[in-house]
Amino acid sequence: MGTRPQELAALLASVEGQSVEAARTVVVGNGCSLAGLPDWVETVELPENLGVTGGRNAAMERLRDMDVVVDLDDDGLLVDDGVVAHLADLFAADERLGVVGFRIADETGVTQRRHVPRLRAGDPMRGGEVTTFLGGGHALSGRMLAQVGDWPDSFFFAHEETDMAWRALDAGWRVVYEPKLLLQHPRTSPARHAFFYRMTARNRVYLARRHLPAPLIPVYLGVWIALTVLRTRNVAGLKAWFGGFAEGWRTPCGPRRPMRWRTVWKLTRLGRPPIL
């Protein structure tokens, strides 16, 4: 969005410094112009802010021929120069590897609980197969994207990674959390904005409408209503959440393609049944 020029410059320097060179690098100006970037960077300037999903899709239009597409937040930083090399090894070793999620840690090395993509989040260094991944830093198989499709434009932001992960898992791809792949990212709380509550609730309804078998929809949403009421101490945030929940039912969310019951069982075996 053009608000982090110093952070973006540092990120690009960390990309350029990788021991294995990235084939192509694209920066998307999400409703802003881009200037002063290195010559080796391709730019896409969108006339309006299309959100996380729209911005990533605009970049992928330039990267359809890539075997692996890596997404990085503009305020992130690759502190290790071996990230691209490690990703290349991981995807070369497993033809059904669809998604690799990075570990996100702040400048002190601490990984927040919400940044560990599993219910048992006590040890952020425990990797393995998971049911979702982190938007700030991840890698996607080009063959997987060709099969399951792009990011859901209607989401804008929030839960778009779970949407992608559920589609990948339902199509037989693996989603892996690899803590050795580190993206350094400033410590923030998304709940500081009422917009976060609205989008989180709306997109949970979108997820259920798009992907869950009909009997699980009321269970999934009922669980999240209960958890939200128990956890949220911010009255304005709670009001925004229920406003978003209602919006999720009355606005279009894209095509409905319920996951198979064997995918429900796979998610359960991986530790996160699709009711949580």
Residue 189 pLDDT: 67
The CATH number assigned to the domain with range 5-184 reads 3.90.550.10
Close Cβ partners of 9 (under 8 Å, ≥ 6 residues apart):
none
Angstrom distance (rounded) from CA 4 to CA 20: 26
Query: Which among 132, 106, 110, 108 has a CA at the least distance from the CA of 119?
Result: 132
Residue 190 has pLDDT above 80, yes or no: no
Yes or no: say if 184 and 77 are a contact pair by the CB < 8 Å rule.
yes
- Enter the tokens of residue 167: 């589609």
Do the strands 41-46 and 25-30 form a parallel or antiparallel pair, or are they unpaired? parallel
Query: Which among 74, 71, 32 has a CA at the least distance from the CA of 49?
Result: 32
Within 13 Å and on the Cβ side, how many CA atoms surround 260?
A: 8
Instruction: Report, as an integer, the average pLDDT of 203-229.
Output: 97
pLDDT digit string, tens, across residues 118-140: 888 889 999 999 999 999 999 99
Record the pTM.
0.95
* Alpha-helical runs (H) found in the chain: 5-16, 51-60, 83-93, 142-148, 160-170, 194-211, 217-231, 235-250, 261-269
Angstrom distance (rounded) from CA 21 to CA 214: 46
Give the Cβ contact number of residue 110 at 10 Å.
10
Q: Is residue 31 classed exposed, middle or buried when 0-12, 13-18 and 19+ CB atoms within 10 A define those classes?
A: middle
Buried b (16+ CB within 10 A) or exposed e, 194-218: bebbbbbbbbbbbbbbbbbeeebbe
Instruction: Report, as an integer, the average pLDDT of 83-105.
Output: 97
Domain ranges in the chain are 5-184, 192-269
Yes or no: say if 99 and 168 are a contact pair by the CB < 8 Å rule.
yes
Percent of the chain topping pLDDT 90: 89
Within 13 Å and on the Cβ side, how many CA atoms surround 174?
A: 13
pLDDT digit string, tens, across residues 222-257: 999 999 999 988 899 999 999 999 999 999 999 999
